[in-house]
Chains A and B, each alone.
Chain A
């Protein structure tokens, strides 16, 4: 069964015009198709200048996060049949727009870099794998599913107000290593996340949890970080 949908898309084509505008396209899509399919169809048959990121097309790479009917979502994981006939699409909020739906994610990725986003363990490795119980693996299970799409951080009011705030995604990344039994950089990493723009800024507004396409309970993880920080005596910054 296919049906016409109206895509209202916020356009920004800097080489053409320094201001933004809204364009409307009518596309016929069947009930299995995704918002991404609609965008592809528009680009292929109506306006080749329409620009957006895409790669995997099934919600695993994080390329196609954008604001769809007011909420940050993955275009490739949102079926049109679940939306009203008019679909409003904008780039992710709070990041500089490069063109149309493509935002500059440099700031977002920099936040990750700040939390030492890699396993640190300088002890000589054993001959075989480091043993980790299934229970211990479970502690990081949710956090390792993050695809770094940027939906959470850009939906967070604290980040809107304070661009230096590490934000949900970077804090989740910190959690991923702090709660990995194989990591040895607890102090360093806690230091990195408990500053002025760190973990204490989270006011549990839950926007991040609302929008995460991987259904990660980010706030829960941040709470655990706070508890660990207090336990280890990292209570500096805002409380």
Chain B
């Protein structure tokens, strides 16, 4: 077996916002290789629509302190306040720097970066919505990602596009490197390094209806978990209230920021009942529950399982200028013009609050006591700092990726002088090669597609917006059965060239592992907080649960440990809007 070897001081997995921002930092200090299973600018960050948050105060008075408070409250007090404060104060220089790098932000009449409203972002500690989201029409992710990728090119970052990482090698409590396959020809490659930064994005694909891309499968998280490293707060998965009905394609919260309202089958603006002060601009967890409650109580449109997002009263010019992309989506996929007809929407699986636990500089934690894995970093959606706690506010994720991508890059670079070069053992490479071969040669009775479909359906039915004990237990049994079925799969494509059949099979194995973690975490948390809504425990329980879940792979299944939430300025209070 021929193995291609590479060395870079820093290896980065993922070329979304977090990966590219980290790379820009690291390239000033050593060599950098970035791997992505897609072409870099096709990373999921490119799909982000509505905006990136920062209290620039360009359109009205704002302050990082208010941003901090909103984020803490939005997180249902599970976010770590020290990390949140870092993010909200770093936000301003971060956005200015992005602008200098060339991001084509939309502009105010005076030529400053334009800002609009987003859910849960308020002035003066909850008084009224505030314009905090910086945007480039409704293609903010695309605009920022292109600029970051372009700056990487300018600075000489090496990209390995369409390379899928199969293993992240951690031995003796230090990262040694990674093993990847070149999708184009199936060749195996080993990248040794002093530091590895994981920026592999989210994993919404474990759910049936999602705004996430096909590539958002989360295998890198599972690779660490299977080696005994923890995952944090996996029970918190955000459903975005406004996914296009039947498709899950996102309609940005920016649409409500520009004045869109939600209406039920009786034509009522129902958010007035759930969040009297900020109504349709309440945080996502609340709006998602409100929509599903309306539907459950028979007030969906024509008694069916969706509600309307109404933009008909919004000036056509605003739609054209600030929301052109979603206007096009509505036309292409639903055959409707949002200035003439309301848009049918339901919540769609959207964002992973949980992930690889890190400290405020992106160092990967191996336990609740703050001990770290040497040389290993994580940032972006795959990581849990935690700035989003139990519920992320819109436009805080893009911010998280750049702020903590940069910090992780900085921390990784600062240790390069003294760090030792990693070594990936031959046996480890053979092990991976054998696993790949085994799947390639498999000739069982199950197909990847059928197991995956059943997994996604089960997760959607039993572990989405509302959860209860019996259902989660049934789900865990189903997941066991699916794991058995997975052992009996076969794939049709046995070739080396661009074998997506094989790679999807590998991803599915990891999706099964992750789903089990999500479901187990959801079962153990007997309270409702943020996006985690347990119908059998409807109240938030600060006495017992104001803490982060760390899930570990034990010999006899998943075990849990808990880490206190870092509270600094803001005491938990009831979350009313």
Chain A residues with a Cβ under 8 A of chain B: 13-16, 32, 43-45, 47-49, 51-52, 54-63, 77, 79, 98-100, 102, 104-105, 109, 113, 117-121, 125, 127-134, 136-137, 140-141, 144-145, 147-148, 177, 180, 182-183
Shortest distance from the beta carbon of A41 to any chain B beta carbon, whole Å: 9
Asked if residues B497 and A32 are in contact (CB atoms below 8 Å), the reply is: no
A residues less than 8 Å from B142 (CB atoms):
60, 144-145, 147
A residues less than 8 Å from B195 (CB atoms):
none
Which of the residues B111, B333, B496, B499 comes within 8 Å of A131, measured between beta carbons? B111
In the assembled complex, B483 has its CB within 8 A of some CB on chain A:
no
Asked if residues B38 and A55 are in contact (CB atoms below 8 Å), the reply is: yes
Asked if residues B332 and A55 are in contact (CB atoms below 8 Å), the reply is: no
Q: How far is the CA of A51 from the CA of B500 in the complex (A)?
A: 7
B residues less than 8 Å from A14 (CB atoms):
495, 497
CB closest chain-B residue, reference A121: B100
Choose among B246, B249, B500 the residue with the greatest number of A CB atoms under 10 Å from its CB. Answer: B500
Shortest distance from the beta carbon of B155 to any chain A beta carbon, whole Å: 9
Fill in one digit per residue for B13-53: 1 if any A CB lies within 8 Å of its CB, else 0.
00000000000000000000000001101111011000000
B residues less than 8 Å from A48 (CB atoms):
447-448, 491-493, 501
A residues less than 8 Å from B333 (CB atoms):
32, 58, 79
Chain B residues with a Cβ under 8 A of chain A: 38-39, 41-44, 46-47, 95-96, 99-102, 104-113, 136-137, 139, 142-143, 146-147, 150-151, 153-154, 184, 213-215, 246-247, 249, 325, 328-329, 332-333, 447-450, 491-493, 495-501
Which of the residues B42, B108, B498 comes within 8 Å of A51, measured between beta carbons? B498
Shortest distance from the beta carbon of A134 to any chain B beta carbon, whole Å: 5
Asked if residues B107 and A137 are in contact (CB atoms below 8 Å), the reply is: yes
CB closest chain-B residue, reference A74: B332
Given contacts A55-B214, A118-B150, A144-B136, could you give 13 more A-B pairs where the C-beta distance is less than 8 Å? A15-B495, A43-B501, A44-B450, A45-B447, A55-B44, A56-B213, A79-B333, A100-B498, A117-B153, A128-B96, A129-B112, A144-B143, A148-B41
Q: How far is the CA of A118 from the CA of B434 in the complex (A)?
A: 42
Asked if residues B112 and A131 are in contact (CB atoms below 8 Å), the reply is: yes
Asked if residues B42 and A55 are in contact (CB atoms below 8 Å), the reply is: yes
Choose among A45, A60, A121, A145 the residue with the greatest number of B CB atoms under 10 Å from its CB. Answer: A60
Asked if residues B107 and A133 are in contact (CB atoms below 8 Å), the reply is: yes
Asked if residues B46 and A61 are in contact (CB atoms below 8 Å), the reply is: yes
A residues less than 8 Å from B102 (CB atoms):
118-119, 177, 180, 182-183
Asked if residues B101 and A134 are in contact (CB atoms below 8 Å), the reply is: no
Q: How far is the CA of A214 from the CA of B75 in the complex (A)?
A: 36
Which of the residues A60, A113, A117, A136 comes within 8 Å of B46, measured between beta carbons? A60
A residues less than 8 Å from B43 (CB atoms):
61
Q: How far is the CA of A20 from the CA of B252 in the complex (A)?
A: 43
A-B complex: 5 closest residue pairs judged by Cβ atoms:
A48-B492, A119-B102, A44-B449, A15-B495, A118-B150
Which of the residues B38, B99, B328, B449 comes within 8 Å of A129, measured between beta carbons? B99
Q: How far is the CA of A29 from the CA of B116 in the complex (A)?
A: 39
Shortest distance from the beta carbon of B97 to any chain A beta carbon, whole Å: 8
CB closest chain-A residue, reference B42: A61
Which of the residues A51, A58, A59, A130 comes within 8 Å of B100, measured between beta carbons? A130
B residues less than 8 Å from A182 (CB atoms):
102
Also in contact, A129 and B113, with CB within 8 A (given A15-B496, A58-B333, A118-B153): yes
Which of the residues B104, B213, B246 comes within 8 Å of A32, measured between beta carbons? B246
Asked if residues A32 and B100 are in contact (CB atoms below 8 Å), the reply is: no
Shortest distance from the beta carbon of A174 to any chain B beta carbon, whole Å: 13
Asked if residues A132 and B498 are in contact (CB atoms below 8 Å), the reply is: no
Interface of A, helix, strand, loop or mixed by DSSP: loop
Q: How far is the CA of A148 from the CA of B150 in the complex (A)?
A: 13
Which of the residues A51, A52, A128 comes within 8 Å of B493, measured between beta carbons? A51
Which of the residues B100, B147, B214 comes within 8 Å of A57, measured between beta carbons? B214
Also in contact, A132 and B107, with CB within 8 A (given A125-B100, A147-B142): yes
Q: How far is the CA of A102 from the CA of B184 in the complex (A)?
A: 10
Asked if residues B153 and A15 are in contact (CB atoms below 8 Å), the reply is: no
B residues less than 8 Å from A79 (CB atoms):
332-333
Choose among A58, A100, A117, A120 the residue with the greatest number of B CB atoms under 10 Å from its CB. Answer: A58
Q: How far is the CA of A182 from the CA of B98 in the complex (A)?
A: 13
Q: How far is the CA of A77 from the CA of B215 in the complex (A)?
A: 18
CB closest chain-A residue, reference B153: A118
Shortest distance from the beta carbon of A168 to any chain B beta carbon, whole Å: 17
Q: How far is the CA of A99 from the CA of B493 in the complex (A)?
A: 12
Q: How far is the CA of A132 from the CA of B350 in the complex (A)?
A: 33
CB closest chain-B residue, reference A15: B495
Asked if residues A134 and B107 are in contact (CB atoms below 8 Å), the reply is: yes
Shortest distance from the beta carbon of B362 to any chain A beta carbon, whole Å: 25
Q: How far is the CA of A141 from the CA of B139 in the complex (A)?
A: 11
B residues less than 8 Å from A148 (CB atoms):
39, 41
Asked if residues A56 and B329 are in contact (CB atoms below 8 Å), the reply is: no
Choose among B101, B104, B137, B496 the residue with the greatest number of A CB atoms under 10 Å from its CB. Answer: B104
Shortest distance from the beta carbon of B458 to any chain A beta carbon, whole Å: 17
List 29 contacting pairs A-B, 8 Å CB cutoff, sorted by A: A13-B497, A15-B496, A45-B447, A45-B449, A48-B448, A55-B214, A56-B44, A56-B213, A61-B38, A63-B39, A79-B332, A98-B498, A99-B497, A100-B498, A102-B498, A117-B153, A119-B147, A125-B96, A127-B96, A129-B112, A133-B111, A134-B111, A137-B104, A141-B104, A144-B143, A145-B139, A147-B41, A180-B104, A182-B102
Also in contact, A131 and B99, with CB within 8 A (given A56-B46, A77-B332, A144-B104): no
Asked if residues A98 and B497 are in contact (CB atoms below 8 Å), the reply is: yes
Q: How far is the CA of A47 from the CA of B449 in the complex (A)?
A: 11
B residues less than 8 Å from A177 (CB atoms):
102
Shortest distance from the beta carbon of B502 to any chain A beta carbon, whole Å: 9
Also in contact, A129 and B96, with CB within 8 A (given A51-B500, A60-B46, A180-B102): yes
Shortest distance from the beta carbon of B396 to any chain A beta carbon, whole Å: 20
CB closest chain-A residue, reference B45: A61
A residues less than 8 Å from B448 (CB atoms):
48
B residues less than 8 Å from A47 (CB atoms):
492
Choose among A44, A49, A59, A129 the residue with the greatest number of B CB atoms under 10 Å from its CB. Answer: A129
CB closest chain-A residue, reference B102: A119
Asked if residues B47 and A60 are in contact (CB atoms below 8 Å), the reply is: yes
B residues less than 8 Å from A104 (CB atoms):
184
Which of the residues B105, B111, B449, B498 comes within 8 Å of A99, measured between beta carbons? B498
Which of the residues B150, B491, B500 comes within 8 Å of A117, measured between beta carbons? B150
Q: How far is the CA of A65 from the CA of B274 in the complex (A)?
A: 43
Shortest distance from the beta carbon of A188 to any chain B beta carbon, whole Å: 12
Q: How far is the CA of A59 from the CA of B47 in the complex (A)?
A: 9
Asked if residues A131 and B497 are in contact (CB atoms below 8 Å), the reply is: no
Asked if residues B99 and A130 are in contact (CB atoms below 8 Å), the reply is: yes
Choose among B44, B99, B153, B450 the residue with the greatest number of A CB atoms under 10 Å from its CB. Answer: B99
